[in-house]
Amino acid sequence: MLSLLDLRARIDAGRLTPDGAIGLVREAIAHREPEVGALVCVDAAPVIPARGPLAGIAVGIKDIIDTADLPTRMGSSIYETWRPRADAPVVARLKNLGAVPLAKTTTTPFAFLDPTPTRNPHDPGHTPGGSSAGSAAAVAAGMLPLALGTQTGGSVIRPAAFCGVVGIKPSFRLLPTVGVKCYSWALDTVGLFAASVADAAHALALMADRPAIAHMGDAGAPRIGIVRQEFCAAPDPEAEAALAKAARAAERAGAMVRDLALPGTFGEAFAVHGTLQDYEARQALAWEYATHRDALPPLLRAALDAAQGIETPAYDAARRTAHHARRGLKDVFSENGFDVLLTYAAPGAAPAGLANTGDSRFNRLWTLMGVPCVTVPVERNAAGLPVGVQVIARFGDDGRALAAAGLVERALRG
């Protein structure tokens, strides 16, 4: 994989120019893209800044995020010729840092569940996950050092796990969602994919203008709670094995590790995620549903059909349940003395076939809580497919989540 920090170190040392770094990315795209199919389009003549902390870094932009220099098609024929007039603020920030938004990456239509044709770089017969399929696959295939995705259920953490890369879903609204096609305004979160935890931390710190995010490594050994989310169906044995392996590695590195059973409040919150998401999707996609329903893919069309029956009192009750759980999560951390939680990133490795994007059941609660989550690749299963875990911290404690994820990552390598 291409490392953002490695590329920047070579540029700073004068061994590589920003133009040369973009050239390396183009070579990688030419080599891997025909097999993986992660990209919608590539800018043939981008502006390549000579200066800036991210100069020379090519970025993939999920194709529901507005770009002035490239189309934004939402994964749908409805927007086949759509060309925004302006960059989304998150894209404008990348440009201000010197980065090059070089390519749009594939997304499931409107970031829901109907799959893309993108293939898992580790085995083309398996899904890369969704909805940020192209961003995860492009980083995993070594085509891009950084890519943007979004998460409403599990669309950053799960594909990062399936593709064996680091993904971070930051705290809710840490990165702006203006200029991002909305599915659920209470849940949609912009996230990142990178080759390592340090790469992801560096990029997020710059994009959020919060340097401390990248400098939490000296915060001491974390106190880690192992959470198995008993309110969900059990994971595959390989996911349980990866969680146990990550916990042992963290313990060897000096972390305090012990099991934690979440109170019933969190099972209740998990159960209302769909009500909140689908009620808002019904409004966010009201124009597309009213004027282009037959052009919507089958899973999304069926979901929006069903969402028409969600009554406002049920939505309001779901909001109250979520709010109660968010307040309770603060107590889970403080009363148990935990810095972070460690849990499954996905039920197992990427499923076979391209007909679905996998199950987000181990991600949805944490998206609803608005807290930072980081995927850490752990190992490969017998078929050579990656399996990962996720590290979770308090709201606003993104640096601590990344620091603990970095500790796990280093311990696993050791």
Average pLDDT, the chain: 97
The pLDDT of residue 216 is above 90: no
Instruction: Write out pLDDT tens, residues 2-51.
Output: 999 999 999 999 999 999 999 999 999 999 999 999 999 999 999 999 99
CATH 3.90.1300.10 location in the chain: 4-214, 223-265+316-413
CATH T-level topology, domain 223-265+316-413? Amidase signature (AS) enzymes (3.90.1300)
Complete edge-to-edge strand list for the sheet that includes strand 340-344:
39-42, 100-105, 58-62, 146-151, 189-194, 166-169, 373-380, 386-393, 340-344, 223-227, 256-260
Q: How far is CA 60 from CA 219, 276, 278, 402, in A?
A: 32, 29, 28, 21
Report the pLDDT averaged over residues 114-132: 98
Write out the two tokens for 393. 């911290």
For the chain, what percent of residues have pLDDT higher than 70? 99
Closest CA to 367 of 326, 306, 313: 326
The pLDDT of residue 213 is above 80: yes
Instruction: Write out pLDDT tens, residues 60-74.
Output: 999 999 999 999 999
Report the pLDDT averaged over residues 98-120: 98
Let me know: does 121 contact 140? Beta carbons within 8 Å. yes
The pLDDT of residue 200 is above 70: yes
Question: What pTM value is reported for the model?
Answer: 0.98
pLDDT number for residue 218 = 67
Instruction: Write out pLDDT tens, residues 381-398.
Output: 999 999 999 999 999 999
- Main-chain dihedrals φ then ψ at residue 151, nearest 5 degrees: -135, 125
pLDDT number for residue 220 = 77
pLDDT number for residue 414 = 85
Let me know: does 99 contact 130? Beta carbons within 8 Å. no
Q: Is 65 helix (H, G, I), strand (E, B) or coil?
A: strand
Closest CA to 389 of 404, 370, 369: 404
Helix (H) or strand (E) holding 102: strand 100-105
d(CA 228, CA 258) in angstroms, rounded, equals 12
The pLDDT of residue 217 is above 90: no
Beta bridge partners of 344: 389
Which CATH number describes the domain made up of 4-214?
A: 3.90.1300.10
Choose between 133 and 218: higher pLDDT. 133
Let me know: does 225 contact 342? Beta carbons within 8 Å. yes
Instruction: Write out pLDDT tens, residues 235-260.
Output: 999 999 999 999 999 999 999 999 99
Q: Which residues are catalytic?
A: 62, 131, 155
Report the pLDDT averaged over residues 124-149: 98
The pLDDT of residue 181 is above 70: yes
Instruction: Write out pLDDT tens, residues 347-406.
Output: 999 999 999 999 999 999 999 999 999 999 999 999 999 999 999 999 999 999 999 999
d(CA 296, CA 245) in angstroms, rounded, equals 42
